[in-house]
Each structure stands twice: as C-alpha cells, then as structure tokens.
Amino acid sequence: GETITFVKNDLSQSSINLNVTTRPLSDAEIEMLFADLPVTADAYFDADNHNILGFEGKIDDTRMVVSKQGVNLLDTIIDGNTITSSVDGVDINAGYFVTKSNSQGVKTVIYYATFDMGENTIYVEYSGVENESETVKNNLADTILKLIENGAFDLSQIQE
C-alpha cells in the first residue's frame, strides 16, 4: 500500500560513543542529496579513517539522521512494537509517542520513522502539541514521501 502506519511506543535515552569529526554540508552537497528540499545538516566523519558515517540535520522542522548501514548515530532507543508499512517499495517502521504533561498541562506528540534506502538508514521525527497530532503525523509522512521520491543518497561524494 501507499499508507504509512504509526504505532504508539515509548522512548528511552541512550549514549553513543564514536570518535568523529563534523562539518556542515555545503549548499552544493545539500542540492546533490536533497534537490529542492530545505535542508540544513552536519556531516559526521570517522576521525581515524576520515570516511563519512552519515549526517544529522533538519528538513524544515523535521529532525533527520542519515547513517551508513551498520553505523548507529542515534542517541534514542525506541521501546515498543513496530509496524512495517511499504511505500514505493521502501519498508518503513514508524511510530509515535506522547510526552508527559509539561507545567502548563500540555503534552507533546512525536512521530518518527526509520527506513533503509540504498546503503543508508534514515531516521526522521517531527513533533508538536498533542492536540495537533494529525497535522504532525501528516507533515512527517509528506517529508518521508519526498525523501523516497528523491531516491537513495550517494554519500561517496562527500569528503571531509
């Protein structure tokens, strides 16, 4: 199908320990990777062999982490069930969670998805107030579809 299904989960924090160097992606690199999507991102390189590991940034207000398969750049662990949806042949594991109320009684909903394209794993998340949950979900789904339409990333062009 062409529908992304999100399942409710919990999150817990984690710690990653990698020896990396970083730099912002250039405008030319962003255009090569994302075409016309409004992206800001920092590339991560292995400090020892200088190979690119991936990058982290934003597409508008959507958080994005792209890592080469086998490299974990996420500091978040998702606890719970996953449902796999398929869009244009890409398997997407998606979910959401709701935070506890803040001091004003407002809860935040965070929708997220993880999927593989080419040699990379892509994680995206978008958040907003709980009473705007449908808008948050739809904004993230639109971003996922745009990423899939753009196709797999070729990170071999990005040098430290």
What is the pLDDT at residue 15? Answer: 46
Q: Indicate the range of 44-48, 69-73, 86-90, 144-148 predicted with least confidence.
A: 69-73
Q: How confident is the model at residue 18 (pLDDT cuts 50, 70, 90)?
A: low
CB contact at 8 A, 20 and 44: yes
| SS3 of residue 132 by DSSP | helix
The CA-to-CA distance between both ends of the chain, in Å, stands at: 39
CB contact at 8 A, 118 and 152: yes
Mean pLDDT of the chain: 88
How is the chain split into domains, by residue range? 7-155
Segment 18-31 mean pLDDT: 91
| SS3 of residue 66 by DSSP | strand
What is the pLDDT at residue 70? Answer: 83
What is the pLDDT at residue 17? Answer: 58
Question: Contacts for 34-41 with beta carbons within 8 Å, 24 or more apart?
Answer: 34/59, 34/150, 35/150, 37/146, 37/147, 37/150, 39/64
Segment 119-127 mean pLDDT: 95
Q: How do residues 61-95 score in pLDDT, each as one tens digit?
A: 999 999 998 888 876 666 667 788 999 999 999 98
Segment 96-125 mean pLDDT: 93
Q: State pTM to two decimals.
A: 0.87
